[in-house]
Structure formats: C-alpha cells, structure tokens
Amino acid sequence: MMINNNRTIENAWSMLQYLYDELRTKRFKNIDISNIDTLDNLYALVISMWAASLAKEGLYKEYVTHEDEEMSSPQGQINIQESIMRQTMSRGTLICSYDELSENTYLNHVVKGTLQYLLYDNNIDKDIKINIQKTLQLFNGVDYIDINYVHWKDIKFNNSNIRYKHLIELCKTLHMEHKLEKRLGLNDDRRLYILFKKQLIKYFKVNYGKEDIVEVYERSYTLDSESPFETYINRTQKIVAIKTQEKALLVLIRLQDEQMINDPRLQKQRLYELVGYLRDYKKEYSIKAAGVMLYVNINKNKLNLQPIAINNVNDYMIGETVVDIHDQWRFITNKIDDAYKYFIQRHKVKRVNN
C-alpha cells in the first residue's frame, strides 16, 4: 500500500483498519491512498472497493414475494379468481403469487444507494468515480434507495448477511457526517474525531476486556453549555466503564475544542458532571468508582506532552489527560494505559499482595 503524506488521511485509514478487521485482509492489500486528499474521497474509495469485494463473493440473497403477477409459465400459488377477472387465460397466462430468491434486497439497495450518492457528489474525484461506476455494474438488477430515507436503526443482521454489517456502518457514518456538515460545518479533523472516538472505545474493550468487564453505558447530557457538535454525534453521553470486583473506572471522551480552551469554567463544569456520573454509578452498582476525563486534541500544530493529572474532586479521584489525534497510536495508548495502571491495575496488585 502506498503511503499518504496527508497525516489526516493516513490516520483515518489506520483508524478504519483498526475498527474494521475486513480492511486488514488481502482484498485491500493493494489499495492506493497516496493521492487521496479528503476523507470523502477515502470513504468513497473504501466503500466502492468493499462493495465490489462483496459482490464478487456473491451478493446477499433472500426470498422476495411477488404478488399477483401475470405469467405464461405459472409458478407458486395461482389466483384463479383474479385470472378470470382479468381474462388472462385468453392470452395463455395466469395470475400467480410466488417467492423468489433474489439479490434485490434492502441491504443491497442501501449499498447501491450509497454508491449512487457518491457518484453524484461533486466533492469526489473523477478517478474514484470511475471505480464506483465499475462497482455499480456488479449491482445490475438491484434497485437502490435514496440514502436520505434509509431507516438505519431498522436494519437487522443475521448469520447470512453479517458480512455487510461493517460496510453498512461505514455508509451510515458517511451519511451522518454529511448531514452534520450541512448543519454545523465540519472539517476533516472533526470528522476524524468521530472515527477516533470509536477507535478508543474498541481499544478499551479489546485491551482490557479480557480481564475486566468493559461496557459502554449511556447517560443524558447535563450541561446547558454543551457543544452542539457533541450532542449531535451522540444523542446521549457515552461513558466507558471498566469494572473489576472492587472498583470501576469511568472514562469520558471529549473533544478539546476552542470553546473549552477559551473557557476554563467549562472544564471545571465537566469535572463536576463526571462526579455526578460517578455518584450515580456507585449508587447503582454499590462499587467504588473513579473517573478519567480523556480529552482529544485535533490541532496537529499543538501536541500535548503533559502526563495525566490526578485530582480529588468532591471525594472522587479523577484523572485528566489529553491525547493527540495526530500522534502515533503507541503514544496515545501509553497515556490510556497510564490511567488504567493508576486506577485499576495497582489496586489489583495490592489485593494480590495482601
């Protein structure tokens, strides 16, 4: 794979590979991102190649019901009354209803609809559109849906179509980000934050889930001054909880935006908001709780090298740390691991020693 000198694109591709195992397989070995200059182009190329790969393996099929069709070779259930009313027998045909195993399914409609959406997007490069056109040829015979009318929450997966799950998730992310761009304005670094937040949550689950219980639970936002950007990408506050038998660590991931940097009161308010979540968690689960405010810096020109800061806030121990979205992944995980070691691992060591 060719390297891209655009740090945002290179990082985005690494995040996508971390999130979706399929992108680390040989089918994407020869993907060329060296000339990609925007996230839209990256998403478009990945979605096109991914859809083509699924089509070559064989598009998902399910039984589709055809009602009251006039047929010269009857199959399924014959509707005699309807055939008489339409006088079809004089033409040598009958009215039938039957089930057919077909590729013309809702999942394929959504994928094809996303490809069509990208094909007519003026922000997508011509070379990538040529790739999309080639992929669309593999979806001949499949209808498509306008992705503005897709009911994403209603899409269900089973053992037969599970291979579509991550591709559909990426299509949904693309659509959501475009809607957000129209409402609030959204540059590629903020879009990268949306991806990065998902990557961090997966890291917690993969890295600590083998020994501890790691779950994401949701709570309502409590601050009137909350960023519209945060509340739009997540309608509720998503909090990562790492829980042992004796203690829980709640991690709140937030964007370190200009609003927070310019208003020190907001940082303090968020600390007290986290204290409220810790208090509720302790009451609900009858377990000691500590917290971490994990801020994400998206300014590539201002890296943060400060270690985690630990403070006692209303009798709750809370750590504050900043990770840089454009930093190397190993340096990012070092800061996360430092927080885990301080709040969770050292208590495990103490318990063993005692």
Q: 118: burial class by Cβ within 10 Å (0-12, 13-18, 19+)?
A: buried
- State residue 170's pLDDT score: 96
Q: Using pLDDT thresholds of 50, 70 and 90, give the confidence band for residue 5.
A: low
- State residue 112's pLDDT score: 97
Beta bridge partners of 316: 313
- pLDDT tens-digit series, residues 152-203: 999 999 999 999 999 999 999 999 999 888 887 778 888 999 999 999 999 9
Return the axis-axis angle of helices 39-57 and 165-184, rounded to nearest 10°. Answer: 160
- pLDDT tens-digit series, residues 140-162: 989 999 999 999 999 999 999 99
- pLDDT tens-digit series, residues 10-42: 889 999 999 999 999 988 988 989 889 999 999
Q: Is 217 in contact with 248 (CB distance < 8 Å)?
A: no
Q: What is the DSSP string of 275-312?
A: HHHHHHHHHHHTSEEEEEEEEEE--TTS---PPPEEEE
- State residue 36's pLDDT score: 93
- State residue 349's pLDDT score: 62
- State residue 165's pLDDT score: 96
- pLDDT tens-digit series, residues 105-145: 999 999 999 999 999 999 999 999 999 999 999 999 899 99
Residue 321 pLDDT greater than 80, yes or no = yes
- State residue 301's pLDDT score: 83
What percent of the chain is predicted at pLDDT more than 70? 96
Beta bridge partners of 310: 319
- pLDDT tens-digit series, residues 30-80: 898 988 999 999 999 999 999 999 999 999 998 888 888 888 888 788 888
User: Which one-letter DSSP state was computed for residue 210?
Assistant: T
User: Which one-letter DSSP state was computed for residue 23?
Assistant: G
Q: Is 59 in contact with 139 (CB distance < 8 Å)?
A: yes
Q: Using pLDDT thresholds of 50, 70 and 90, give the confidence band for residue 314.
A: very high
* Range list of H helices, the chain: 7-19, 39-57, 80-86, 106-119, 126-137, 165-184, 188-208, 228-233, 258-262, 264-285, 329-340, 346-353
